[in-house]
Structures are given as C-alpha cells and as structure tokens.
C-alpha cells in the first residue's frame, strides 16, 4: 500500500471511530416547524433554518409599561426544538419578559394555543391586573414547565460533559 493511501485509510478509520463515540454521547435534537400552527418534525436542516428565520414563528410580541412605568417587552415564540428532553408532549413555545420588575421571567408551552393564552396572561400579570383563575393556572403551569426544562437541560448538559471527559480519560 502506498504511504498516501495508507494515511487516508487510517484517517478514515479514525473519523469513523470518532463519529461513533460522539454519536453515543450526543442526543439527537428534534427539530420542528409549524404547519398551520401545528408542530411538524423537520429532518431537513436547511429547510428548518430557513423556516426559523420567518416571522411565522412569532406567536406575539407586546410592548407595554408595567405598574411602575418601566418599559417591558413580552415575546412569545415557537422555539423550533423540543426543550422537554423526552417529556411528552414536546415543549416548543416560550414567552420571555424583557424589562421591568419581571425582567427575564420565562414561561414554556406545548401548543400554539397555550402559548397564545399564556402570553396574554403574562401581559396581564406584568400590568398587575387581576387574571382569571384559568389564566393564573396557565401561567403557573408554564412557569413550572420552564423551570423543569431548564433544570433538565442543565443536568443533561453536565452529564454529557462528564461522560465525554470520562471516555477521553479511558483512551
């Protein structure tokens, strides 16, 4: 075998082994787009990237003043990825409060409808106007889901880093 051909063969074997090790540690991220406000799995990365840049992913975007006259922006968007880490159903929507006393509060939802109503409830909450019991329950559920998925992301990320570093030490 010629030295160049032998070098390519070794490089190919190394790449194959490296891909196998990495695929064992890297979970597949489920990507989604919306079809008439309904989530649909999307395996085509180019299509997903293009779709995520479209305005169709925005549920609502509201600019208000809170009870203390601070400017506040409340954004609700379709995330395009499942942030549930295996929870059923997928958590695909998020509301974030930017500014005011509720700055950086985060709420997550599974459906467009929940996101739409959740957005309205968060707007009312930030304005300090009483919300209905149903809206209060939606806000509570969305906050719980956001906290749970953020904690899961932290744990899974830490676990993946530890596993990768341990597999590198074992080599």
What does the pLDDT look like over 110-169, one tens digit per residue?
999 999 999 999 998 888 754 466 666 777 787 788 888 888 777 777 676 666 666 665
- Cα dist. 96→45, 126, 144, 154 in Å? 26, 11, 14, 19
Residues 5-21 pLDDT 10s: 554 444 454 455 444 44
pTM listed for this prediction: 0.66
- Distances in whole angstroms, Cα of residue 58 to Cα of each of 62, 93, 147: 11, 9, 22
């Amino acid at each position: 075998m010629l030295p160049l051909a032998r070098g390519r063969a070794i490089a190919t074997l190394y790449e194959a082994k490296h891909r196998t090790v990495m695929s064992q540690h890297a979970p597949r991220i489920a990507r989604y787009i919306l079809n008439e406000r309904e989530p649909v799995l999307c395996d085509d990365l180019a299509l997903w990237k293009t779709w995520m840049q479209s305005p169709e992913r925005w549920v609502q975007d509201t600019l208000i003043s809170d009870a203390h006259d601070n400017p506040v922006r409340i954004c609700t968007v379709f995330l395009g990825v499942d942030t549930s880490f295996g929870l059923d159903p997928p958590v695909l929507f998020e509301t974030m409060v930017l500014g005011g006393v509720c700055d950086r509060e985060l709420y997550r939802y599974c459906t467009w409808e929940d996101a739409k109503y959740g957005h309205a409830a968060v707007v009312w909450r930030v304005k300090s106007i009483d919300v209905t019991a149903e809206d209060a329950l939606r806000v509570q559920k969305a906050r719980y889901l956001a906290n749970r998925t953020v904690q899961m992301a932290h744990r899974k990320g830490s676990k993946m880093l530890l596993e990768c570093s341990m597999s590198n030490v074992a080599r």
